[in-house]
Amino acid sequence: MSEPLLSPIGMLAELTHRCPLQCPYCSNPTELLKANREMDTQSWLDLFEQAADLGVLQVHLSGGEPTLRRDLEQLIAGLSARGVYTNLITAGVGIAEGRIEAFAEAGLDHLQLSFQGARTVTTEMIGNHRGSHEKKLETARRARAAGLPLTINAPIHRHNIEEVPEFIELALSLGAERLEIANVQYSGWALTNRDALMPDRAAVDCQAEIVEAARERLTGVMNIDFVTPDYFAIYPKPCMGGWARDAFMVAPDGMVLPCHAAQTIPSLSFERFGERTLAEIWIDSPAFNAFRGTDWMQEPCRGCERREIDWGGCRCQAMAIAGDPAATDPACVKSPIHARMANFIAAANSTESERTPESFVYRRIGVVTEPA
């Protein structure tokens, strides 16, 4: 490694893969874990204790749909007792009356609510769930009534990119402090559905202009985060802030990972919490150390002035497209295979029939799908 090992400050806890929605853009792995493989309450509480001891300051409670865990209030309370900031990432569908208030009472700090569309028909089509849009609106209202800060998350792809102005107005109408315009990143189920989800360049450029104008107009009113689409980028984003640099994630079965899609790299083996302590995994796991810092880098990354800005970009994307997790992220203009990104865009936009919702492979537990 080229820098001292930092303590992690952030953690993504995927409490379950179960979810009432079946979104085709989901970044969960295409082999989803069933409920009988999830860690129990005490194991999660033990993990959170060790995470706090290690220096973690914020935990994002995610899934799947984390509110399907009956012990969620207890998990939130455990983190709150250690002074750890908690953010609940939810689809907002099927939450029983009184639970949002119970989450707030347990110490929840923030709620992040996803909308598949700014329009009812889009939300129901993408999530493959009737009535979901109204349920989400009600969840947002209940969260605000409970005094919880609210972020609206809008995963953007070709089937809702024209709704970006409506997403902005929706977030404002719901009293959100923050809106995340998150262009879909192609891993898990999203990679399987890449051709059906990929927008065209004109739509992406138009979206960027709309977001920039809204940011300026709404300064001091609502923050708008913009997650740029990798396939249209010039330079890559630092994955998770850099591989195992200051954050990590835990899968429902306790597998500890540097990032969401790390298990797609076949040369790496990952460890489960309980087999070793969290500190042991963070400090000396071979998988965590594989791409830390800059010493592992090949050219052109090794000699690039951006090597400690983007930390080489996404290792999983390099694996998926270049076939080598140590390769320069193909999203980077300096990658020798950067042109493949434009080719993927062109191929996805060449056949209209393959870009319709009818071609979606919906996310379902028990269905194992190989990426296209």
Residues 175-200 have pLDDT tens digits of 999 999 999 999 999 999 999 999 99
Which percentage of the chain shows pLDDT scores above 70? 96
Domains of the chain: 10-228 (3.20.20.70), 239-350 (no CATH)
Whether the full predicted model's pTM is greater than 0.85, yes or no, is: yes
Residue 172, pLDDT > 90, answer yes
Check: CB of residue 117 under 8 Å from CB of residue 128: no
Mean pLDDT of the chain: 94
d(CA 349, CA 355) in angstroms, rounded, equals: 7
Q: Which residues contact 230 (CB under 8 A, 6 or more apart)?
A: 185, 186, 236, 237, 314, 317, 329, 331, 341
What does 249-287 look like in DSSP terms, one character per residue?
Answer: EE-TT-BEESSTTGGG-TT----BBTTB-HHHHHHH-HH
pLDDT at 369 over 70: no
In angstroms, rounded to a whole number, what is the distance separating the alpha carbons of residues 172 and 224? 11
Which residues neighbour 295 within 8 Å (Cβ) at sequence distance 6 or greater? 1, 2
Q: What is the pLDDT of residue 251?
A: 98
> Measuring CA to CA, how many Å separate 353 from each of 87, 225, 356, 359?
39, 32, 6, 8
Q: Is 23 annotated in some ligand binding site? A: yes
- Please give the Cα distance from 36 to 14 (Å, whole number): 15
What pLDDT is stored for residue 1 in this prediction? 47
- 371 pLDDT above the threshold of 50: no
Q: Is 19 annotated as a binding residue?
A: yes
Q: Worst-scoring range by mean pLDDT, 36-40, 98-102, 236-240?
A: 236-240
Rounded to whole angstroms, the Cα distance separating 270 from 287 reads 6
- The pLDDT of residue 134 is 98
In this predicted structure, what is the pLDDT of residue 274? 95
239 annotated as belonging to a binding site for a ligand = no
| Torsion angle of the four alpha carbons 52, 54, 60, 64, in this order, in degrees rounded to the nearest 10 | -110
- Residue 228 has what pLDDT? 87
Q: Give pLDDT, residue 2.
A: 57
pLDDT digits (tens, 9 = 90+) for 91-131: 999 999 999 999 999 999 999 999 999 999 999 999 999 99
Q: Is the pLDDT of residue 140 over 80?
A: yes
**Which DSSP string corresponds to 43-110?**
HHHHHHHHHHHHT--EEEEESS-GGG-TTHHHHHHHHHHTT-EEEEEE---SPPTTHHHHHHHHT--E
Q: How far apart are the first and last CA of the chain?
A: 35
Please write the tens of the pLDDT for every residue from 275-305. Answer: 999 999 999 999 999 999 999 999 999 999 9
Q: DSSP labels for 176-198?
A: -SEEEEEEPP-STHHHHTHHHH-
